[in-house]
Amino acid sequence: MKEMNGAEVLVKCLEDLGVRHVFGYTGAAILPVFHALRQSDIEIIINSNEQSSAFSAAGYSRSGGQVGVAIVTSGPAITNTLTSVADAFGDSIPLLVFAGQVPEHKIGTDSFQHISVRNVFWDAAKKVIQLSNDDDVEAIVKDAYYFAKSGKPGPVVIDFPMDKQQKVHEYQGMNVLRFEESYHDDRHLCEEQCAEFFRLLLNSKRPLLYLGGGLNSEAGSRAIREFNRLFGIPSVNTLMAKGVVDERDGLNLGMLGMFGTPYANMLIQENDFFFAIGVRWDDRVAEKVGFAIGTDIAYIDINPEKMHQIKTERCPKFTFIGDAPTAIRDLLGYAKKNNITLDIHEWQERARYLKKAWPLDYNRGSAHIQSAEVMDLLAGHIDNNTKITTGVGNHQMLAAQYLPMQSAKSFLTSGSFGTMGFSIPTAIGVHYANPDARVIAIDGDGSLKMNLGELHTIASLDLPVKVLMLNNRSDGMVQNLQDVAYEGIRTGTQRQKDVLFADIAKSFGFSHAARIKDRKELRKGIEAFLNAKGPCFLEICTDCEEILYPKVPAGGAYKDMILGPYIKQAASPSVADNPGLSERPGQPQEAEGFAFAVSDKE
């Protein structure tokens, strides 16, 4: 045992847990912790504000194997951090936040910069802990780390009063394995459950995998890829599951939902067995699913609350509450043991056909650069070592549609909470978790401005983060909604002044900062940006009137998908070239089996 103050105990715990980086912003109420970090090998990354610190820490978690740690001070630092914590909570991202606080005897008073951490975070975190003078700091910190990772992951916020940081404690050096083992999930599928699953699967002719964020890990990706090497089932995925399977594969049809790919939204209308794994049935996906009579559903997820909801709403034939990768490996083991195979050749060809026949497209004749055009060009440069972060808006959905991610934890975006300002601070965390990866932060002008100060963080630390900004001088996604809902009346979504963001990046110290307005410069400009070293910034001025397609209208079903004026069938194949056409019940062949609208508004 050693005697240390509370701040030193915290830092020693982080060292024991293998933490190598923390993100934060200092202040009076957290000074003892920052002073203790000076004696440690843990690297402190100082962001431009506390929201960014927690975003960077969450980016560390989202893209790596460890839990990100943010350390902030009291009062406004706590409220600044709320947005990032809520964002992590919505996307089930493990995160540890240590918040400085006034001395314990001043909690609940009008003390300077005091606010109730418990009240602020209660509905936005997996757990909120207020340390008191009688608490064992070491046990609480080590337990919180593994609790954040366990079950349905999420952020844990620890309120650390100033006197608790300064008080002398006995540090015992508890083995972290003791805490890790206490959260070990040993639930497995039994033989009878596996048999029931395969009875349903083998009874289907058109099975479809629906992959969610619960598989977005190295273990999850390996498990589902091995499963599908055996069965070859076509798949669609949520925004949070991009890269879980290689999106260049013809059997992966990409993102499903309101702004999903045309072929994913088409194929779901034809399946007869829907296998949902690690998904939360987001309203932008689930509310649009109108399964035909006879479609069976199987659902695996670790969240019992979500399972109860889906059992009530969807009546799945098969369910399992537990770790998704573990369950997939159990099914795979059972299949190999019993020599189970699947003959769905025609359905596989149908999926490949749709992916080729209904490609994404955009206004190639416009005088202005299209954001979709930029994503289409960038898609050719994505490799297994590329990590993408995005802000929120049309650029986010276009990146999700066009960029063929090839590995787990490679596409990092704000899914549930839809938080603008997410991309750049998250990219900083992604870099520290993956120092050898090529990190590209894609952002719009509206989203980037919300954490513009992180350009200074990137430049001052000389981080090799590449920021690709699509500047349409508007909030494009909201503007598109206004045009539909308010007959083209636009309020608060356009900006008249043309700000030179590349010059701002250059003034911060970016080694490469360029601006492109002319399409003739686009291809070479992107290549120069990708090949440049150090902090890189590329601003591309895009069409403020561009509309995001395809889209499924709010309240609509997949059959109501609007393709827009540019997404068209690539060819007019015959029935012989269009596998499965004659087998789709109740769908008009002359319309290729789909109901969809073509908008004439652009």
**Structure confidence by residue, pLDDT tens digits, 200-210:** 999 999 999 99
- Where a domain ends, among 334, 357, 380? 357
- Which pLDDT tens digit goes with each residue over 119-131? 999 999 999 999 9
- Statement to judge: residues 242 and 325 lie in one domain: yes
Any domain includes 601: no
Q: Shortest CA distance to 23 belongs to which of 2, 61, 52, 63?
A: 52
- Residues 547 and 370: their CA atoms lie apart, in Å, by 10
Q: What is the pLDDT of residue 597?
A: 53
Any domain includes 170: yes
- Name residue 101's beta-bridge partners: 161
Q: What is the pLDDT of residue 288?
A: 53
**Which range, of 55-69, 106-120, 123-137, 387-401, averages the lowest pLDDT?**
106-120
- Residues 368 and 297: their CA atoms lie apart, in Å, by 45
Any domain includes 287: yes
- Statement to judge: residues 60 and 96 lie in one domain: yes
Q: How confident is the model at residue 271 (pLDDT cuts 50, 70, 90)?
A: very high
Q: Decide if 470 contacts 395 (C-beta within 8 A).
A: yes
Q: How confident is the model at residue 503 (pLDDT cuts 50, 70, 90)?
A: very high
Phi, psi at 330, each rounded to 5°: -60, -45
CATH number of the domain encompassing residue 376: 3.40.50.970
Any domain includes 441: yes
- Residues 85 and 56: their CA atoms lie apart, in Å, by 11
User: In this structure, which long-range contacts are made by residues 335-344, counting pairs with CB atoms below 8 Å and at least 24 apart in sequence?
Assistant: 335/194, 335/198, 335/230, 335/231, 336/230, 338/198, 340/198, 340/202, 341/230, 341/231, 342/201, 342/202, 342/207, 342/231, 342/232, 342/233, 344/205, 344/206, 344/207, 344/232, 344/233
CATH number of the domain encompassing residue 335: 3.40.50.1220
Q: Higher model confidence: residue 290 or residue 359?
A: 359
- Where a domain ends, among 182, 207, 230? 182
Q: How confident is the model at residue 293 (pLDDT cuts 50, 70, 90)?
A: very low
- Statement to judge: residues 341 and 395 lie in one domain: no
Say what angle helices 191-202 and 324-337 make with each other, to 10 degrees.
80
- Statement to judge: residues 282 and 326 lie in one domain: yes
Helix ranges, 91-136 (H): 117-121
- Statement to judge: residues 458 and 526 lie in one domain: yes
Question: Burial letters for 312-351: b for 16+ Cβ neighbours within 10 Å, e otherwise?
Answer: eebebbbbbbbbbbbbbbbbbebbeeeebebebeebbebb
Residues in the chain: 602
- Statement to judge: residues 238 and 205 lie in one domain: yes
Any domain includes 420: yes
Q: How confident is the model at residue 301 (pLDDT cuts 50, 70, 90)?
A: very high
Q: Shortest CA distance to 246 belongs to which of 402, 407, 380, 355?
A: 407
- Statement to judge: residues 403 and 496 lie in one domain: yes
Any domain includes 549: no
- Which pLDDT tens digit goes with each residue over 405-418? 999 999 999 999 98
- Statement to judge: residues 202 and 323 lie in one domain: yes
Any domain includes 488: yes
| Residue where the block lists tokens 């919300």 | 450
- Residues 405 and 582: their CA atoms lie apart, in Å, by 33
* pLDDT tops 60 at residue 94: yes
Q: What is the pLDDT of residue 286?
A: 59
Number of domain units in the chain: 4
* pLDDT tops 70 at residue 573: no
Q: Higher model confidence: residue 575 or residue 330?
A: 330
* Whether residue 550 has a cis bond before it, omega within 30° of 0: yes
* pLDDT tops 90 at residue 263: yes
- Statement to judge: residues 341 and 457 lie in one domain: no
- 141: containing domain: 2-182
- Statement to judge: residues 71 and 140 lie in one domain: yes
Q: What is the pLDDT of residue 578?
A: 55
* pLDDT tops 90 at residue 253: yes
- Where a domain ends, among 152, 182, 212? 182
* pLDDT tops 90 at residue 145: yes
- Statement to judge: residues 208 and 333 lie in one domain: yes
- Statement to judge: residues 378 and 524 lie in one domain: yes
Query: 3-state SS of the chain: helix, strand, coil percent to 5?
Result: 40, 15, 40
